[in-house]
Structure 1
């Protein structure tokens, strides 16, 4: 079975209201539809663009203002998933639960269902500057095209959590990201490659590009979308099915062959998933 996936290099630019955000999101969804996309990934913290609406005095809104846009955000993406027929990973949005802020990835199904996965590992900036809280528990999500997981940015740098979702049956991990410089970008990108090799899975990742001049900690972005594979003969030698131009405003698309994953897990040049030494280190199920 094959699935067509696309990842958006989302261009952050100042807007004057939610309508500006909605028009930009709808543009990418329509573009992906023209390519026959079935799963569409947006980046982490894409909704910080809403903070650029400002307070009327030229200053951006604080991070604590983002939860006030949650209903509009959910309504927009639910509508677009329904009209497009796609599964849409709507990047991440900051939500409030019992007075605490969580950086949360959302999966929008074509039939109107919405699932979520809060970010599990929080960076020092998220903690110290934005008072974000850690999510509890890891989930996988069943779709008509197989089982997937959503792990946000820093999460992909922890091999244990990706082992868990693979053990739970995920073949594709979608990794929305947001990094402000090359160091952060390459930490995430190299980690994504490592996870494809260790678990013989696909990873689809993308990040924000552009700048929000009046929003603290979103004044710089360094991003590139990539659709990544294990490094074995049926796949490209670099493990890259497709990637965008760094910091460009664009969409990246490729087809994932899920049957190839089963083949390399059984008969690949290396069989890293099958050959893990659970006698020396614990398996997730143990």
Structure 2
């Protein structure tokens, strides 16, 4: 089976009302539909753009206000997924986790209106210390008509064990929404995406925010690039890069993923990293 995926290099810029955010998100989805994409990926923390909407005194909003937009965020992307008949990984959005805590959660919007959620499992110091977030407690994979996927956000991809768990649960594609503010953070995520694709013989689709929110703390700088990555083996591009964007540009990146090729290289590739793991020497995913 071949599926077409699209990753959005979402350009952050200050806005004054929710409708501007909705119009920008709708533009990207509409554009992806013109390429007949079946999955669209938005970046981590792209909804922080809503924090630039001024309060009654003209000041930007604090992170504690972002969950207030959750109903409109859900309705927007649920409607877009239905309208265009596609699966949308709506980046991540900060949600109320109860008990005064917040979570950074990836959302999958199905064309039939269903919504699946995967909270980020590994949090950066900024998320914990500045934004008072709490991590998710379990990993899920998600069944679609095109196969099984996982959603692992940014820092999550830097932990090999969690991606191995996703593969063991059946995921062939890992969607990795990301948000990094400099080259160091960007390349940490990017190199780990490549490593996870090689180790587990899966596709990894990643993207990050670009642009700047001049009024929002910790979102004033963004360094991002979308990439659609494969295992490094003969049926795939030599560098394992199926497609990638132009760094820090506002754009979409589109590619076709052949899931049957994954089965072929797992069974008889130049290397068979998934099959050859040494569970007698180190614990398996369970």
Instruction: Please state which band the TM-score falls in when normalised by the shorter chain.
Output: over 0.9
Determine the structure 2 residue equivalent to 1:40: 40
Shift of 1:224: 0.1
Shift of 1:97: 1.9
Shift of 1:55: 2.2
Q: d(CA) in 2 for partners of 1:230 and 1:284? A: 20
Q: d(CA) in 2 for partners of 1:117 and 1:133? A: 13
Alignment of 1:232-251 (within 5 A): 232-251=233-252
| 4+ long deviations beyond 6 Å | none
- Within the alignment, does 1:52 sit opposite 2:45 as a pair? no
Q: In structure 2, list runs of 5 or more residues that go unmatched.
A: none
Q: TM-score, normalised by structure 2?
A: 0.99
Determine the structure 1 residue equivalent to 2:188: 187
Q: Deviations over 1:217-240 (max 9, x none)?
A: 000000000000000000000000
* Higher mean C-alpha displacement, 96-105 vs 68-77: 96-105
Q: d(CA) in 1 for partners of 2:250 and 2:264? A: 35
Q: d(CA) in 1 for partners of 2:174 and 2:180? A: 18
Alignment of 1:57-206 (within 5 A): 57-98=57-98, 99-206=100-207
Q: d(CA) in 2 for partners of 1:216 and 1:57? A: 18
- Within the alignment, does 1:17 sit opposite 2:27 as a pair? no
Q: Deviations over 1:123-146 (max 9, x none)?
A: 001111101111110000000000
Q: d(CA) in 1 for partners of 2:187 and 2:58? A: 33
Q: Deviations over 1:152-171 (max 9, x none)?
A: 00000000000000000000
Q: TM-score, normalised by structure 1?
A: 0.99
- Within the alignment, does 1:31 sit opposite 2:42 as a pair? no
Q: d(CA) in 2 for partners of 1:221 and 1:277? A: 39
Determine the structure 1 residue equivalent to 2:215: 214
Q: What SS does the aligned partner of 1:20 have?
A: helix
Determine the structure 2 residue equivalent to 1:2: 2
Is the 1:58–1:214 Cα contact (8 Å) retained in structure 2? no
Q: In structure 1, list runs of 5 or more residues that go unmatched.
A: none
Report the RMSD for the aligned CA atoms in angstroms. 0.7
Shift of 1:56: 4.2
